Structures are given as C-alpha cells and as structure tokens.
Amino acid sequence: MGDFCLINIDSLELSYGNSGFRLSIPQLKIDDAEKVAVIGPSGSGKTTLLRLISGIIVPQKGHVSIDGTIVSRLSDTQRRDYRITNIGFIFQDFELLDYLNVEDNILHPYRITQALKIDAQVRTRASELALELGIQNKMKRLTNTLSQGEKQRTAICRAMMISPKLVLADEATGNLDPSNKTKILDTLFRSADSNKATLIAVTHDHELLDRFDRVIDFKQYCEAEAV
C-alpha cells in the first residue's frame, strides 16, 4: 500500500431483497495508481463492487469515496456525470449500442454529457486507440456484426477515451484467446501507467494475477450465497 488512498470503502452493507445475497465490507482501501485484481467465486459480489465504486448502485449503509468525493452521497445525475468524466468502466457484457458503429460507440461518452466535447483531438485519440487494439478497420461497422473479441476491444477503447484516473475492468480478458489476453492486459497497464491511474480488474484468469500489485479474494466479503 502506498501513501495516498484513492478509494475508501467504509462500513458498507448491501443486500438484494430475498435473494440471500448480502455484501459486507467493513473497510477497503485502494491506493492511487495501484493495480488490483479481484477474484472470487461466481456470485460473490465482484461485479457489484465495481458498480458500487462507480456509483451505478449505492449501498444501503456505509459509503464509497473516490479521491475525497463520497460518490455514494451524490444524486443520480451527479453520479452519472462523475462516472462518465472520471472513470473508465469496461463492462462484462460490453454495453455497446447496436444501432451505432464502432467509432460512435467509442465516442459515446462525449455525446451524453456536456462536460465532454468532441473535437479533432478526441477523434484522433479514438483512431489511435482503435489502431492499438487492432480494430481500426472496423470503425464504420455496426457492433452487432463484430465478434465477441472485437466487441470487447471496442468497449476497452471507449473506457480509455477520457484517459481516466480510475479504470474498472469486469472480465476485460474473458472473451479473448491467450495472445489477445496478454495484449489487452498490456494495453490496460500501459494506459494506467501513462495516466498514473488506478486499475481494478475482476478476473477469473488466475495466470494473470502475478502482474498485479495486489489480489483481493472477494469471498471474504460475501456473507451468504449470492445469485
């Protein structure tokens, strides 16, 4: 652990109705520029952790703060704007828009908040990211014509567009072959290093764990069998 704590989760409690799922995190701190892998059995709350940090959902008790901002206390609109402008989130199910082409999906965060503006420099960055991830020849294709791996790389490009200080990756290497897994992880690490960003990655790829600064086994926080 370093000198500066970027993320602080304190006395957090979350449960889902009658599902039997209960998440309890007394305290969890993640440092600035730290690279953390989150592992654990299916249903233990790993994806829920990323959604709590990003403010997509809020806890019933306790709080989540990022760089001094208590995200869990912001309004829905404030959390959304904070997430779009500060966090690169790579969703496990991609959350791409089928009616948009690859380029417009990558640029989508800039179209849904007034805090971000599209200009020539932004478009150049989108092209550079697509080239780096090997989808530069797919930019005008609709995402429903892409392979799973191409969709994954499109989602990663979108997450990296804002050069975020915090990257949340939910199984970012899950749909890729071994060589592309290494390439994607290299890209995530390189982007994190260049932006001095914190990276939190949920993963089942245990062969990749030795590349991270720390591994958190999430089963310690889930007090009941989850769905």
pLDDT at 225: 46
pLDDT at 227: 36
Report the distance separating Cα 56 and Cα 52, nearest Å. 6
Residue 143 lies in a domain: no
* Total tally of structural domains belonging to the chain: 1
Residue 65 lies in a domain: yes
Burial class from Cβ neighbours inside 10 Å (0-12, 13-18, 19+) for residue 4 reads exposed
Condensed to tens digits (0 to 9), the pLDDT of residues 1-31 reads 445 799 999 999 999 877 778 899 999 999 9
Residue 88 lies in a domain: yes
Residue 213 lies in a domain: yes
The domain that holds 86 is classified in CATH as 3.40.50.300
Residue 140 lies in a domain: no
pLDDT at 51: 96
Residue 202 lies in a domain: yes
Residue 158 lies in a domain: no
pLDDT at 226: 39
Cβ distance 27 to 45 under 8 Å?
no
Ranges of residues in the chain with a pLDDT under 70 are 1-3, 175, 223-227
Q: What is the length of the chain? A: 227
Residue 139 lies in a domain: no
15: containing domain: 5-98+163-220
